[in-house]
Structure 1
């Protein structure tokens, strides 16, 4: 189905996981979630599905990058991932990362953000 903007698009974005230091398995150059968030790690599958649950495209999370600590917050550490899913085309898009359902956006909503989705978790 051709969305209102016409044709397929690449969806890209980021996922930033926020937690206390104990919520991450981290080194100086990479990080990943642990405990209840162990599915959030580099290589985890990212799916874009349509309103009927049909898979439109699949990508993967990049390796997690540790962010600077913010000691003013109980969620003082961050781990950032990037993703891209190529050539999706529908009227509505839902993002699924690992076993987690993400937001649903219309074709128009994503066109207004240049097909970019920036998400937070935690």
Structure 2
């Protein structure tokens, strides 16, 4: 086969048509405006503000600290004063003797109220009221013991609020006996019931 025939059977490869690209025309650059110069320091809105304490003089800070300290000490003193007034309460003690009961018992034997005095016994309430009739403290009778006179019950009343002109001490519902504050503070009160 001759070369020309070979070429006739093998056509030349087709070439891609050439594409003509036209360069897009870029707009002409606008005249650049001048960029403002940056300040030597950043704007104050971007700078964290200094602490108020750091702006004060040392003497001012010390004066403020001393004022706060004095206020704290004053508050503590007032609190202790109020608490102290609650601690100024006082106590009293005494005995209640029910005459004529417990006959046949040896001296010092335990005893209780009998017959018309059955409400008088260990644990019976002793109340203290102030001049206005307000209950200010209460206690209770202790264990009764036989004496020569009858059955004697000791009692103690704590936390009596001071400041009343007089106080009334009452055991059970037996009627009260009036005492001054000094008499109550002295203690050693002796009450009797019965003949």
Per the normalisation by structure 2, the TM-score is: 0.48
Q: Is the 8 A contact 2:141 2:154 kept in 1?
A: yes
SS in 1 for 2:112: strand
Mind listing any 5+ residue stretches in structure 1 that lack a counterpart?
1-6, 69-76
Shift of 1:52: 1.8
The one of the two structures with greater contact order (alpha-carbon pairs below 8 A, sep at least 6) is 1
Q: Judging changes above 3 Å, is the alpha-carbon distance between structure 1 residues 99 and 42 closer, same or farther for their aligned structure 2 residues?
A: same
Of Structure 1 and Structure 2, which has the larger fraction of its residues in strand?
Answer: 1
C-alpha distance in 2, partners of 1:102/1:30?
25
C-alpha distance in 2, partners of 1:34/1:20?
7
Shift of 1:21: 4.8
SS in 1 for 2:133: coil
1:23-42 aligned at under 5 Å gives the runs: 29-42=109-122
Of Structure 1 and Structure 2, which has the larger fraction of its residues in helix?
Answer: 2
Shift of 1:115: 2.8
C-alpha distance in 2, partners of 1:31/1:13?
17
State yes or no: 1:63 paired with 2:143. yes
Shift of 1:119: 1.0
Shift of 1:19: 1.3
Number of matched pairs: 104
1:93-104 aligned at under 5 Å gives the runs: 93-104=167-178
Determine which of 104, 108, 113 is the counterpart of 2:182: 108
Mind listing any 5+ residue stretches in structure 2 that lack a counterpart?
1-87
SS in 2 for 1:100: coil
Per the normalisation by structure 1, the TM-score is: 0.73
State yes or no: 1:48 paired with 2:48. no
